[in-house]
A and B are shown apart, each in its own frame.
Chain A
Amino acid sequence: MIKLKRMGQYVFLIITSLLSIFPLVWMAISATNKSADVVKGVMMPGTYLLKNLESLMNQQNVWKAMGNSFKYAIILTIVSLIICSLAGYGFEIYHDKGKDVVMNIILLAMMVPFAATMIPLFQMFSSANLLNTTMGFILPTISTPFLIMMFRQSARSFPHDIMEAARIDGLGELAIFFKMFMPTMRSTYAAAMTITFMNAWNSYLWPKVIMTDAESITMPMLVANLKAGYTTDYGVLMLAVLLCSIPTMIVFFVLQKSFAEGITGAVK
């Protein structure tokens, strides 16, 4: 009886896992096949990868879009991690009535849908000449309630006596943050980095609104532009999707372990 139940558990997990990765496997295989074979349902890696790559390069400026995406996502991730961790730390370590009120107001911002701020932001940014700039890309999401909350939760486990000892040793408040908090909270930073980088890399609506110039487009925009053809070349399309997915997959695999630890610290 127990064995049967265990079997059922494995079968369920195996089926779910396979369904989870199947579309991705199909995508990767299709990137190596020509469109006609993809349509036929061929499920074996083909020899068309380089041909697809060549044809993609001829249609779109992949390097430019790739470079833009990396530039926007990396800058946003670094700046946003510093600003939000400073705030989360500040809210928790120095908390008093006033700061708790401010924190609650910030949490309200979580409920503000992007559709509601998109138009005024577009107006503000176009009059400030921020269209097609990195600044324009990063400013709206540089500080998010989610990240602040995450760092605030994890700062709760930062031992107070270490801080007192550091103060007695003459370390300034900012030095304590950079020299003691940051290194001990590595897994929270890893989780925050994974989430922020992925969100930045994958964001679509905002870049679509402000990147009006073909030179400034991002990878997801490039992928979306491809579909606007007459007949779909599935091989080329899936190759573009693959190229767009590789960076986030790498980040995920590298940081996976600390990601799980960081989330655990944050939902406590």
Chain B
Amino acid sequence: MSKPKKMNLNQKQNLSGWFFLAPATAFIAMMSFFPMFKALILSFKTGIGTNMTWTGISNYVRMFQDAVFMQSLKNTFFYLIIQVPIMLILALILATMLNDRHLRCKGLFRTMIFLPCATSLVSYAIIFRSLFAVDGFVNTILIKLGFLNTGYNFLGHPMSARIIIIVALIWRWTGYNMVFYLSGLQNIEYSVYEAAKIDGASPFKIFTKITVPLLKPTILLTAIMSTNGTLQLFDESWNLTFGGPANASITMSHYIYNMSFKYVPNFGYAAAMSYLILILVAVLAFIQMKVGDKRD
């Protein structure tokens, strides 16, 4: 028999909760989910500009016959498989080292290793392009030291161009992931480590039996973020190698951009390709969560 007009305290608070989260939720619905839905429709259409007609699944079929797209798919997976594990392991090792209480200059090391993250993607891509140019710093040094007679065209050979992208990515993102691990490590009681040391556990044992299991949620988070980021690489491909030589290092997002804004715009086909990225991101995140959730 509550009074119909006056809300009770709980209802009032419940309502203010909805009020608090409404703007953010509305923006995500409008700026992520709605365009995503529109892209799905677009991916079944073909044509230029507003003059689009239904075409069924032909965009999806075309994708797998498109040599450049297949190359971009291969490149993206190459970056993913090589770069993400190296980077995450390196970040984990660095974080473990910096978590040591007896280490000196901890703050200085942390700052220096994190600093690359403060540079913009375009900036670091251009720094690396200049460093590895035919007349760039790396070649100059290699020639001075007598390893080379003339500059090696790092960005002009398919494999070395891809490796430079990986090196650049590791340089830019290791510190970023390290900060997440350092924060995670701070939540682990230091006494756990001390006890393990007293019991005579080797550093490697401590790392694999204590650090990694306790950091699992953080590792999962960084793995998903890195996978997601790598599948969407654009700036590095665009500014560091221009996707070249001859599309040998092009990424999926770069090719989608070309299809939409550089060549004669083919939004339908571009949308279909972007949906493949979406599916890949979802599948990989699902697998990572399944693996991460396993209790041993």
By size class, the interface of chain A is: 35 or more
A258 on the B face (CB < 8 A): no
**What chain B residues lie within 8 Å of A244 (beta carbons)?**
120, 122-123
Q: How far is the CA of A236 from the CA of B203 in the complex (A)?
A: 48
Binary interface encoding of chain B residues 179-205 relative to chain A, with 1 for a CB under 8 A from any of its CBs, else 0: 110111011000000000000000100
Binds B, one of A44-52, A58-66, A84-92: A84-92
B71 on the A face (CB < 8 A): no
- B123 and A252 contact, CB distance less than 8 A: no
- A83 and B187 contact, CB distance less than 8 A: no
A-B contact number at CB 8 A: 264
**What chain A residues lie within 8 Å of B34 (beta carbons)?**
120
- B127 and A87 contact, CB distance less than 8 A: no
- B118 and A99 contact, CB distance less than 8 A: no
Q: Which A residues form the contact surface with B (CB < 8 A)?
A: 5, 9, 12-13, 16-21, 23-24, 26-27, 30, 38-41, 83-84, 86-87, 89-91, 93-96, 99, 102, 106, 109-124, 139-143, 145, 148, 173-174, 177, 198, 201-202, 204-205, 209, 219-221, 223-224, 227, 232, 234, 237-238, 241, 244-245, 248-249, 251-252, 256, 259-260, 263-264, 266-268
Which residue in chain B gives the minimum CB-CB distance to A127? B50
B148 on the A face (CB < 8 A): no
Interface residues of B in 3-58 (CB under 8 A from A): 13-14, 16-21, 23-25, 27-28, 31-36, 38-39, 42
Return A187 CB to nearest CB of chain B, in Å: 11
Q: How far is the CA of A20 from the CA of B119 in the complex (A)?
A: 12
Binds A, one of B61-69, B153-161, B271-279: B271-279
B218 on the A face (CB < 8 A): yes
Q: How far is the CA of A223 from the CA of B126 in the complex (A)?
A: 8
Known: A119-B42, A209-B261. A23 touches B14 (CB 8 A): no
**What chain B residues lie within 8 Å of A39 (beta carbons)?**
135-136, 140
Binary interface encoding of chain B residues 269-293 relative to chain A, with 1 for a CB under 8 A from any of its CBs, else 0: 0110111011001100100000000
List 19 A–B pairs whose Cβ atoms lie within 8 Å, in order of A's numbering: A24-B127, A38-B137, A41-B140, A109-B28, A113-B231, A115-B257, A115-B273, A115-B277, A117-B36, A118-B260, A119-B39, A123-B38, A141-B31, A143-B31, A224-B126, A232-B130, A245-B118, A248-B118, A267-B183
Return A82 CB to nearest CB of chain B, in Å: 9
- A124 and B228 contact, CB distance less than 8 A: no
Which residue in chain A gives the minimum CB-CB distance to B277? A113
Of A23, A174, A204, which one neighbours B16 at CB under 8 angstroms? Answer: A174
- B123 and A241 contact, CB distance less than 8 A: yes
Q: Which 5 A-B pairs have the closest CB atoms?
A: A94-B17, A90-B20, A87-B24, A202-B120, A143-B27
Q: How far is the CA of A77 from the CA of B231 in the complex (A)?
A: 26
**What chain B residues lie within 8 Å of A173 (beta carbons)?**
13, 16, 20
**What chain A residues lie within 8 Å of B182 (beta carbons)?**
260
Interface residues of B in 66-123 (CB under 8 A from A): 94, 97-98, 100, 103, 108-109, 111-123
Total chain B interface residues with beta-carbon distance under 8 A: 93
**What chain B residues lie within 8 Å of A114 (beta carbons)?**
232, 253
- B39 and A116 contact, CB distance less than 8 A: yes
Q: Which B residues form the contact surface with A (CB < 8 A)?
A: 13-14, 16-21, 23-25, 27-28, 31-36, 38-39, 42, 94, 97-98, 100, 103, 108-109, 111-124, 126-131, 133, 135-137, 140-141, 144, 171, 175, 179-180, 182-184, 186-187, 203, 217-218, 221, 228, 231-232, 234-235, 238-239, 252-253, 256-257, 260-261, 267, 270-271, 273-275, 277-278, 281-282, 285
The residue in B100, B121, B129 that gathers the most chain A C-beta atoms within 10 A of its C-beta is: B121
Q: How far is the CA of A252 from the CA of B136 in the complex (A)?
A: 29
- A220 and B112 contact, CB distance less than 8 A: no
- Per DSSP, are chain A's interface residues mostly helix, strand or loop, or mixed? helix
Known: A205-B235, A223-B123. A90 touches B31 (CB 8 A): no
- A115 and B31 contact, CB distance less than 8 A: no
- A102 and B274 contact, CB distance less than 8 A: no
**What chain A residues lie within 8 Å of B252 (beta carbons)?**
115
**What chain A residues lie within 8 Å of B13 (beta carbons)?**
94, 173
Q: How far is the CA of A252 from the CA of B115 in the complex (A)?
A: 8
- B277 and A241 contact, CB distance less than 8 A: no
- A205 and B257 contact, CB distance less than 8 A: yes
**What chain A residues lie within 8 Å of B129 (beta carbons)?**
227
Of B18, B27, B100, B277, which one neighbours A142 at CB under 8 angstroms? Answer: B27
Of A89, A141, A256, which one neighbours B111 at CB under 8 angstroms? Answer: A256
Of A20, A93, A99, A124, which one neighbours B113 at CB under 8 angstroms? Answer: A20
Q: How far is the CA of A60 from the CA of B18 in the complex (A)?
A: 48
- B228 and A111 contact, CB distance less than 8 A: yes
Return A146 CB to nearest CB of chain B, in Å: 8
Return A66 CB to nearest CB of chain B, in Å: 13
Q: How far is the CA of A117 from the CA of B36 in the complex (A)?
A: 5
Q: How far is the CA of A132 from the CA of B35 in the complex (A)?
A: 20
